[in-house]
Amino acid sequence: MGILNRLDSRIEQFETGNLMITSVDKLLNYARLSSMWQMFFGLACCAIEMMATSASHYDLDRFGIIPRPSPRHCDIILISGTVTLKMASRIKRLYDQMPEPKYVLSMGSCSNCGGPYWEHGYHVLKGIDRIIPVDVYVPGCPPRPEALLEGLLKVQEKIRTQSIAKQIKKA
């Protein structure tokens, strides 16, 4: 019954109970936002909080967020920590390898803007948005797991409003 509860009133359930009508976008979006596969990839201190969030206490699995080691399986990449200049080109490459539609969540001050290394960090990229587009920023150094969860819910909200059908038509 999960699907029926969460999709809106436009679904009509027929008497036989095994037919329903919805839009392609609604169905696709429902599937996409309930199984955002995350890239298994940590950078610095924030990655430890990311690990703590996916472990038992906060349990990311219940949102369908499962870490995958290959970028080609992933829907979302969490930039969890300080991005150095040496690492930046690698991250760009990882991002390019992810299939569309893809999302980026920037976790922590470092990847938002350079964080504590903003002023004197000669080897630190001052914000991941200089190389890849970011969907959601989560502030904090490190953000609490609750904050990260909130950020991920924001990504879900964003997915809910998008239309894959239109994108395909455009392309």
Partner 1 sequence: MPEVRTEEMLINMGPQHPSTHGVLRLFLTLEGEIVKDVRPYIGYLHRCFEKHTEAMTYPQVIPYTDRMDYLNSMSNEWSYVLGLEKLMGIEVPERVEYIRVVMAELQRIASHLVALGTYGNDAGAFTPFLYSFIDREKVLELFEITCGARLLYNYFWVGGLSHDIPANFQSKVKAFIKEFEPNIKMYNDLLSYNKIFIERTANTGILPLDVAINAGATGPILRASGLKYDLRKDEPYSIYHKFDFEIPVAEQEVGTVGDSWNRYMVRIKEMVQSLRIIEQAIDNIPEGDVSSAVPKRVKPPVGEIYSRTETPKGELGYYIISDGSLNPYRVKARSPSFVNLSILPKISKGHMMADLVMILGSLDIVLGCIDR
- Chain contacts with partner 1 (rule: CB under 8 A): 40-45, 47-49, 51-52, 55-57, 67, 69, 71, 81-82, 84, 86-87, 90, 94, 116-117, 119-124, 141-142, 144
Q: 39 or 110: whose CB is closer to ligand SF4? A: 110
Binding residue for ligand SF4, selected from 54, 82, 106, 156, defined by CB under 6 A: 82
Residue 22, beta-bridge partner list: none
Q: Judging by DSSP bridges, how do beta strands 38-39 and 67-68 pair with one another? A: parallel
Q: Least distance (Å) from partner 1 to the CB of residue 18?
A: 37
- Encode burial over 49-72: b for 16+ CB neighbours within 10 A, e otherwise: bbeebbeeebebeebbbebeeebe
Q: Judging by DSSP bridges, how do beta strands 67-68 and 76-80 pair with one another? A: unpaired
Report cis status (omega within 30 of 0) of the bond before 101.
Answer: yes
Q: Are 124 and 80 in contact (CB under 8 A)?
A: no
Q: 73 or 144: whose CB is closer to ligand SF4? A: 144
Binding of ligand SF4 by 123 (CB under 6 A):
no
Judged by beta carbon distances under 5 to 8 A according to partner kind, the member of partner 1, ligand SF4, none in contact with residue 108 is ligand SF4
Which residue in the block uniquely carries the two structure tokens 């797991």? Answer: 145
Judged by beta carbon distances under 5 to 8 A according to partner kind, the member of partner 1, ligand SF4, none in contact with residue 127 is none
Judged by beta carbon distances under 5 to 8 A according to partner kind, the member of ligand SF4, partner 1, none in contact with residue 78 is none
Q: Which distant-in-sequence residues (6+ apart) come within 8 Å of 62 by Cβ?
A: none
Judged by beta carbon distances under 5 to 8 A according to partner kind, the member of ligand SF4, partner 1, none in contact with residue 90 is partner 1
Tokens of 110: 């470092």
Residue ranges in contact with ligand SF4 by CB under 6 A: 44-46, 81-82, 108-110, 115-116, 141-142
